[in-house]
């Protein structure tokens, strides 16, 4: 794939650029501007929390329903998974929370981190399709670059605790000695430099420039570094973390769902422009209801945003929390686990035919 010819877009250059590749880069630019103006340590206001956490982060969790419970094909194919994953997740959560609330939140945080990293790896693999003819070291360098771009900043975070931001709650990450970052930092830099050198070699010797794959690696490296290392506040971290992850995931899900509706000949599809706001609105409504329950029953931190939920009883009994907290976390747990099932090429390669549907687009010409 050369810059002058076709590129391995999922839908098209415009859609991929605006909703998959662009959000992370844009969030990073905004975050750099925040840091440059001396507000890099700023926290979240009520409304930035509402937009970023409720409107994007929690909402994107529920977008999985369009790929599973509301998809007639996968609802049948994954019927066992869709029943047992929520039940198993809740049961495991109750056991962990009963042993220690801190253990529950630590386990959930690391499961979330794994999910975030694997999403970037997944996009890398999608945008690398069609590059099997390249030398094997190219694929190895691509994967190493994504893992370096994510694990490097995480190593910095773990060796510089406490920070002014957390993943879920204070203390959910395990502190590591500072020498680990000193050992990781040169490896982190060398891997990213090697990736750039590999891309320069491809451009010079084979006239090959894979624009979306490079955008994924660049966007991942910038957003994770700026959000975790350069930024010191919750606003910058949440913006780079949530925007770069949630919007691309929703876009991928919507592209797939629209392809499914076209396959099935649906006459009133949700995912054409006229109905798209309704599809997004359902996700935000579900996210609002979930966060209202969290705030009314457990946190009591943002009740101004959830009128009426303050009437719910505030649970402060450990035995009851051990049941309620994992239950409220079931949508997240299900999303994290089922995501590793529904997008796996090795076990279910047929989803690619649905995803790359765009008539007349480069993606269609590359349909697997």
How does pLDDT run across 75-125, given as a tens digit for each residue?
988 889 999 999 999 999 999 999 999 999 999 999 999 999 999 999 999
* Angle subtended by helix axes 101-127 and 318-328, to nearest 10: 10
How does pLDDT run across 26-58, given as a tens digit for each residue?
999 999 999 999 999 999 999 999 999 999 999
> Which pair of tokens denotes residue 232?
């010191």
pLDDT band, very low/low/confident/very high, at 345 (cuts 50, 70, 90): low
Are the CB atoms for 42 and 259 separated by under 8 Å? no
The mean per-residue pLDDT over the stretch 223-233 comes to: 95
CA distances from 329 to 58, 104, 332, 357 (A): 11, 11, 5, 34
How does pLDDT run across 279-291, given as a tens digit for each residue?
999 999 999 999 9
Cα–Cα dist 125/118, whole Å: 10
Mean pLDDT (the chain, rounded): 91
Are the CB atoms for 28 and 222 separated by under 8 Å? yes
pLDDT band, very low/low/confident/very high, at 220 (cuts 50, 70, 90): very high
CA distances from 122 to 128, 161, 234, 293 (A): 10, 29, 27, 32
Specify the pTM: 0.92
**Percent over 70 (pLDDT), the chain:** 93
What residues contact residue 258 under an 8 Å CB cut-off, 6+ apart? 269, 271, 272, 357
The mean per-residue pLDDT over the stretch 334-349 comes to: 82
> Which pair of tokens denotes residue 140?
């190895």
């Amino acid at each position: 794939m050369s810059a002058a010819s076709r590129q391995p877009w999922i839908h098209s250059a415009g859609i991929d650029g605006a909703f998959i590749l662009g959000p992370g880069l844009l969030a990073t630019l905004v975050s750099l501007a925040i840091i440059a103006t001396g507000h890099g340590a700023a926290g979240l206001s009520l409304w930035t929390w509402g937009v970023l956490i409720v409107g994007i982060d929690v909402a994107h969790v529920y977008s999985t329903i369009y790929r599973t419970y509301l998809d007639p094909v996968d609802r049948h194919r994954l019927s066992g998974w869709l029943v047992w994953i929520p039940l198993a997740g809740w049961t495991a959560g109750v056991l962990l929370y009963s042993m220690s609330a801190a253990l529950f939140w630590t386990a959930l945080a690391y499961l979330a981190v794994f999910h975030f990293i694997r999403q970037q790896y997944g996009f890398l693999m999608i945008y690398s399709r069609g590059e099997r003819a390249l030398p094997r070291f190219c694929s190895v360098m691509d994967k190493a670059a994504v893992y370096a771009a994510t694990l490097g900043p995480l190593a910095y975070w773990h060796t510089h605790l406490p920070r002014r931001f957390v993943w879920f709650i204070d203390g959910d990450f395990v502190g590591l000695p500072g020498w680990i970052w000193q050992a990781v930092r040169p490896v982190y830099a060398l891997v990213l430099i090697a990736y750039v050198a590999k891309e320069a070699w491809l451009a010079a010797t084979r006239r090959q420039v894979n624009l979306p794959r490079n955008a994924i690696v660049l966007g991942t490296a910038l957003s994770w570094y700026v959000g975790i290392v350069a930024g010191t506040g919750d606003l910058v971290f949440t913006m780079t973390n949530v925007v770069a992850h949630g919007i691309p995931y929703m876009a991928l899900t919507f592209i797939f769902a629209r392809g499914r509706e076209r396959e099935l000949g649906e006459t009133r599809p949700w995912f054409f422009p006229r109905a798209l706001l309704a599809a997004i609105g359902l996700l935000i409504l579900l996210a609002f209801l979930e966060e209202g329950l969290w705030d009314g029953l457990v946190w009591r931190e943002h009740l101004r945003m959830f009128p009426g939920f303050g009437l719910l009883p505030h649970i402060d009994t450990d035995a009851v929390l051990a049941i309620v907290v994992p239950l409220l976390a079931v949508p997240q747990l299900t999303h994290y686990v089922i995501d590793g099932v529904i997008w796996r090429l090795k076990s279910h390669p047929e989803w690619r035919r649905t995803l790359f549907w765009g008539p007349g687009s480069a993606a269609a010409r590359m349909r697997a």
